[in-house]
C-alpha cells in the first residue's frame, strides 16, 4: 500500500470537529431624535382618541349629568355642569329639565328665628362692655366688637329683609354700626370720657333698632 493511500485511510477514521456556530446577537443603537418624536406623536394620538371618547360620552349624557372617567369605565353621574343645569332665579332646577312638585325651600327667607336669637345674644354681650370701658380695657372692648360684628351684621340684614318697615330698619341698622365705629375709634385713642360717651350712644342705637324687630 502506498503512503498516500495509507494517509487517506487514516483520515477516514479520524473524528471530524466543527466549532458550534454562536447565534448572532443584534444590539440596537441609541434611539434617534426622529424615533423619539414618532413615539411621542403615537402616544399623543392615543391620548387624543381616549379624550374624544370621553367627550362624546359626556355630550350624550342627560341633563344634570357629566361623565366620570374611572379606571376601566366612563359612567355618567349627577352634576349641575351640563346644559339645562342651574340657572338664576326662583325657578332654578339645578340640572333637571323641569321641576317636579313644589319647591320645598319656598319661604325660607321669611323664617328669621335663628337670626333673631343670634342677634339677641350679640346684643347681650355688647351690653356687658360698660365695665371694660370704665376700666380702660381697650383691647377687650375692641376685640368683642369685632367678634360680634360679622354674625350680628348678617343677622340684622336677614331680619331687615323681612321687616314690615324695611326702610326704618335699614336706617336704624346704619345708625347703630356708625356708633360702633365711633366707639372703636375712641378705644383706639384710649380716651376714657369719649369712649364712655360713645358706648352710651351705641346702647341707645341698639335699643332703637331692637324696637323694630
- Is residue 93 domain-shared with residue 123, that is, in the same domain? no
Q: 85 CB contacts (<8 Å, ≥6 apart)?
A: 63, 64, 79, 93, 94, 95
Three-state DSSP class for residue 65: strand
pLDDT (average), residues 93-110 = 57
- Contact by Cβ (8 Å): 149, 123: no
User: Residue 132 CA to chain centroid, in angstroms?
Assistant: 41
- Quote the pLDDT of residue 66: 46
CATH assignment at residue 183 = 1.20.120.290
Q: Residue 197 — very low, low, confident or very high, per pLDDT cuts 50/70/90?
A: very high
**Total structural domains in the chain?**
2
Give me the sign of the Cα torsion angle 127, 128, 134, 139: negative
The parent domain of residue 166 ranges over 109-210
Q: Among residues 81, 53, 88, which one has the least CA distance to residue 65?
A: 81
Give me the sign of the Cα torsion angle 136, 128, 125, 192: negative
- Contact by Cβ (8 Å): 105, 115: no
- Contact by Cβ (8 Å): 183, 212: no
CA-CA-CA-CA dihedral for 116, 204, 151, 141, to nearest 10: -140
Q: What is the pLDDT of residues 23-63, one digit of tens each?
A: 544 545 555 556 656 667 766 766 666 656 555 554 444 44
What phi and psi values does residue 78 have, to the nearest 5 degrees? -65, 140
- Is residue 113 domain-shared with residue 202, that is, in the same domain? yes
Q: What is the pLDDT of residues 142-155, one digit of tens each?
A: 999 999 998 999 99
In a domain, 19, yes or no: no
- Is residue 136 domain-shared with residue 154, that is, in the same domain? yes
Q: Among residues 160, 150, 142, 146, which one has the least CA distance to residue 118?
A: 150
- Quote the pLDDT of residue 53: 53
- Is residue 95 domain-shared with residue 122, that is, in the same domain? no
Q: Residue 170 — very low, low, confident or very high, per pLDDT cuts 50/70/90?
A: very high
What would the grid cell of residue 20 be? 458550534
- Quote the pLDDT of residue 122: 95
Three-state DSSP class for residue 78: strand
Q: Residue 15 — very low, low, confident or very high, per pLDDT cuts 50/70/90?
A: low
Model-level pTM greater than 0.95? no
- Is residue 58 domain-shared with residue 144, that is, in the same domain? no
Q: 205 CB contacts (<8 Å, ≥6 apart)?
A: 172, 175, 176, 178, 179
Amino acid at each position: 500500500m502506498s503512503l498516500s493511500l495509507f494517509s487517506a485511510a487514516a483520515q477516514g477514521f479520524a473524528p471530524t470537529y466543527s466549532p458550534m456556530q454562536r447565534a448572532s446577537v443584534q444590539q440596537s443603537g441609541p434611539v434617534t431624535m426622529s424615533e423619539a418624536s414618532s413615539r411621542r406623536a403615537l402616544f399623543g394620538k392615543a391620548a387624543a382618541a381616549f379624550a374624544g371618547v370621553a367627550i362624546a360620552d359626556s355630550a350624550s349624557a342627560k341633563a344634570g349629568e357629566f361623565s366620570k372617567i374611572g379606571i376601566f369605565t366612563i359612567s355618567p353621574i349627577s352634576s349641575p355642569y351640563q346644559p339645562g343645569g342651574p340657572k338664576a332665579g326662583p325657578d332654578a332646577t339645578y340640572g333637571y329639565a323641569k321641576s317636579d312638585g313644589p319647591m320645598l325651600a319656598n319661604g325660607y327667607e321669611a323664617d328669621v328665628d335663628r337670626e333673631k336669637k343670634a342677634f339677641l345674644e350679640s346684643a347681650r354681650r355688647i351690653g356687658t362692655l360698660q365695665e371694660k370701658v370704665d376700666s380702660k380695657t381697650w383691647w377687650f372692648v375692641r376685640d368683642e366688637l369685632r367678634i360680634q360684628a360679622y354674625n350680628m351684621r348678617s343677622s340684622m340684614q336677614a331680619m331687615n329683609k323681612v321687616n314690615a318697615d324695611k326702610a326704618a330698619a335699614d336706617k336704624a341698622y346704619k345708625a347703630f354700626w356708625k356708633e360702633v365705629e365711633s366707639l372703636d375709634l375712641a378705644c383706639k385713642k384710649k380716651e376714657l370720657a369719649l369712649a364712655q360717651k360713645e358706648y352710651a350712644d351705641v346702647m341707645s342705637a341698639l335699643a332703637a333698632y331692637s324696637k323694630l324687630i
